[in-house]
């Protein structure tokens, strides 16, 4: 039984709202109305201007951004996720003819990096928030370090350097986890102990009653219904979902967090569905007309563009279409064409497979744009199309990936465990190193990720947003991925980015999106690989 399940079961038992049959999980005697859980009313959303100023002063920040939705954020451009580099001047033009700038890793500077102890970071965060009355109730801090790793061409470890120490908070409501973009508090300290990054997005809630809920066994059945026939649920636990602050809700009801594996063995993005007896399940959107087997998009080689694909309700992910749309719409608004966007049965494995392998056609899709964004289920060795399509098969293996030999710079995979540290005796570099044939970065996760309808839009916005005075500047690609993941994922989720290292330490770790800042030249991994990873 998971910790979250034990906590919720204990709460229900102590309050007298759960019968003995439901505690044991027996479906033979438990009824749908045998238990109730609290409902929480939203009293206020986000922080006030005075509270934002209090955060700025207490943490010694030069500025903070208070968004319209009430979230507060800060990122010190000079220190946030900074990786030391050496300017090597202009590089070879990109395949689109765009100018590039060469940057090498400063290995000696990386070796000198230090981070403050997690105990010190935690203590300072708690004392500071408590001192200004902004330490949330029922919030538990966990601290960890963002790390930068280098391995050589033989995957032998060269160094692991700490970039910062981050304190992230996990929220609960009467012992039941509260998770989502609307329950985020994270403070990151640089090596000198100064705050380099801050994210604060919460609602003030008050208990206002209760609602009948299904038992956990019935919850497992509900999860199975939502996840579909291609997924085997492995665990269900009670949770409250905190949607983005921009999403106007007046109350939060209990839900089930559904975990599982699909028929390919890939880990399922965690999905939250309602636990109330009368909760409405997510409904599939309109079905797109099927793709034709011989269809293809124009091959653009002289423009900047992006593409997106993902598996949705057919793989148990109800909000994929919304998430891809948020990614597409933000780029479109910035004047960047979206060359392709396929979802559900129209998302094909062959679109990511190199043509050197039978059926592969990534030269028409995933490798024919500057950035490809994918959402679906994944594992350390690839990502899955099971339940949606089998064209040419249901699983894109790391062995089928050869990216960047045509166009793509950044492969952004919103899925699970792609960049897990070690799996099956193989490191992240061993598993995915062969994919780099001109590719600059793979952005993904070290752990299981949570399903989201807004991650893609946040990622795109951080990449292409326009500056206003001293803030809102575009972020580097890896930083944008990290921040979008911090904004949308629970503290337990670890994001990651990897890339190749060429001769002389040449690497694309500081890339911006095109026309938003410097971009490095295509680099082959002749000297090794780098990886950055951190907590959400």
Ordered mean pLDDT values, 10 residues apiece, the chain (536 residues): 49 41 29 75 98 98 95 95 96 86 97 98 98 96 98 96 98 97 98 97 97 96 94 96 97 97 90 96 84 71 91 96 98 97 97 96 96 97 96 96 97 98 97 98 98 98 85 92 98 97 97 97 97 98
CA 278 from chain centre, in angstroms, equals 30
Contacts of 320 (CB under 8 A, 6+ apart): 310, 311, 312, 313, 343, 344, 375, 376, 451
Assess contact for 382 and 395: CB atoms under 8 A: yes
Domain around 474: 306-499
Cα within 13 Å of Cα(420), Cβ side: 19
268: left (phi over 0), alpha (psi -120 to 50) or beta: beta
Any domain includes 455: yes
- Cα angle at 196 between 195 and 202, to 5 degrees? 75
Q: Is 267 exposed, middle or buried (0-12, 13-18, 19+ CB in 10 A)?
A: buried
Any domain includes 153: no
Q: Which long-range contacts (CB under 8 A, 24 or more apart) does 128-132 make?
A: 128/58, 128/59, 129/58, 131/58, 132/51, 132/54, 132/55, 132/58
Query: In this structure, are strands 382-384 and 371-375 parallel, antiparallel, or unpaired?
Result: unpaired
> What's the pLDDT score for residue 407?
95
Any domain includes 468: yes
Any domain includes 6: no
Any domain includes 172: no
Any domain includes 492: yes
Any domain includes 441: yes
Contacts of 505 (CB under 8 A, 6+ apart): 86, 104, 105, 106, 107, 527
Cα within 13 Å of Cα(495), Cβ side: 26
> What's the pLDDT score for residue 23?
26
Assess contact for 415 and 451: CB atoms under 8 A: no
Give dist(CA 456, CA 330) in Å, integer.
Answer: 9
Give dist(CA 52, CA 56) in Å, integer.
Answer: 6
- pTM of the predicted model over 0.85: yes
- Number of compact structural domains in the chain: 1
Any domain includes 278: no
> What's the pLDDT score for residue 382?
97
> What's the pLDDT score for residue 27?
30
Give dist(CA 290, CA 344) in Å, integer.
Answer: 10
Assess contact for 437 and 398: CB atoms under 8 A: no
Give dist(CA 437, CA 433) in Å, integer.
Answer: 9
Starting at the edge strand found earlier in the chain, the sheet holding 382-384 runs: 378-379, 382-384, 395-397
User: What CATH number is attached to the domain comprising 420?
Assistant: 3.40.50
Contacts of 181 (CB under 8 A, 6+ apart): 201, 242, 243, 244, 245, 452, 454, 487, 488
**Tokens 């409405």 appear where?**
280
């Amino acid at each position: 039984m998971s910790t979250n399940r034990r906590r919720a079961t204990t709460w229900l038992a102590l309050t007298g709202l759960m019968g003995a049959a439901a505690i044991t999980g027996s479906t033979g005697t438990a009824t749908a109305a045998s238990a109730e859980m609290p409902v929480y009313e939203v009293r206020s959303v986000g922080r006030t201007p005075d509270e934002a100023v209090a955060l700025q002063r207490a943490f010694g920040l030069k500025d903070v951004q208070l968004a319209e939705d009430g979230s507060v954020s800060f990122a010190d451009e000079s220190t946030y996720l900074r990786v030391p580099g050496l300017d090597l001047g202009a590089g070879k033009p990109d395949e689109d003819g765009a100018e590039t700038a060469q940057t090498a890793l400063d290995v000696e500077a990386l070796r000198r990096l230090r981070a403050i102890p997690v105990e010190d970071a935690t203590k300072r965060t708690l004392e500071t928030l408590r001192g200004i009355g902004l330490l949330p109730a029922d919030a538990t801090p966990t601290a960890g370090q963002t790390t930068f790793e280098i391995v050589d061409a033989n995957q032998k470890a060269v160094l692991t350097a700490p970039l910062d120490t981050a304190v992230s908070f996990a929220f609960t409501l009467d012992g039941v986890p509260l998770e989502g973009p609307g329950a985020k508090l994270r403070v990151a300290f640089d090596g000198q102990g100064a705050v380099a990054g801050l994210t604060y997005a919460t609602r003030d809630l008050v208990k206002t009653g209760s609602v009948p809920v299904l038992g956990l066994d019935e919850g497992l059945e509900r999860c199975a219904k939502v996840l579909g026939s291609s997924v085997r649920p492995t665990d269900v636990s009670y949770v409250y979902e905190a949607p983005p602050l921009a999403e106007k809700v007046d109350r939060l009801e209990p839900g089930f967090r559904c975990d599982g594996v699909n028929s390919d063995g890939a880990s399922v993005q965690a999905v939250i569905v309602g636990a109330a007896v009368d909760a409405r399940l997510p409904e599939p959107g309109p079905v797109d007309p099927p793709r034709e087997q011989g269809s293809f998009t124009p091959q653009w080689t002289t423009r900047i563009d992006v593409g997106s694909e993902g598996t949705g309700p057919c793989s148990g992910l109800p909000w994929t279409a919304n998430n891809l749309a948020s990614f597409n719409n933000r780029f479109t608004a910035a004047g960047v064409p979206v060359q392709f966007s396929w979802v559900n049965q129209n998302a094909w494995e062959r679109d990511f497979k190199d043509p050197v392998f039978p059926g592969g056609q990534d030269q028409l899709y995933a490798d024919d744009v500057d950035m490809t964004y994918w959402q679906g289920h994944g594992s350390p060795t690839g990502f899955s199309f099971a339940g949606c399509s089998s064209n040419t098969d249901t699983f894109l293996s790391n062995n089928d990936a050869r990216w960047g030999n045509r166009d793509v710079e950044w492969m952004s995979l919103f899925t699970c465990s792609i960049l897990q540290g070690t799996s099956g005796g193989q490191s992240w570099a061993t598993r995915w190193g062969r994919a780099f044939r001109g590719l600059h970065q793979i952005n993904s996760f070290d752990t299981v990720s949570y399903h989201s309808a807004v991650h893609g839009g946040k990622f795109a916005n951080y990449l292409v947003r326009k500056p206003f005075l001293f803030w809102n500047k575009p972020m580097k690609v890896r930083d944008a991925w990290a921040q979008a993941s911090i904004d949308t994922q629970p503290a337990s989720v670890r994001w990651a980015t990897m890339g190749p290292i060429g001769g002389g330490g040449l690497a694309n770790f500081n890339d911006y999106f095109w026309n938003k800042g410097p971009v490095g030249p295509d680099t082959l991994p002749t000297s090794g690989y780098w990886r950055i990873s951190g907590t959400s």
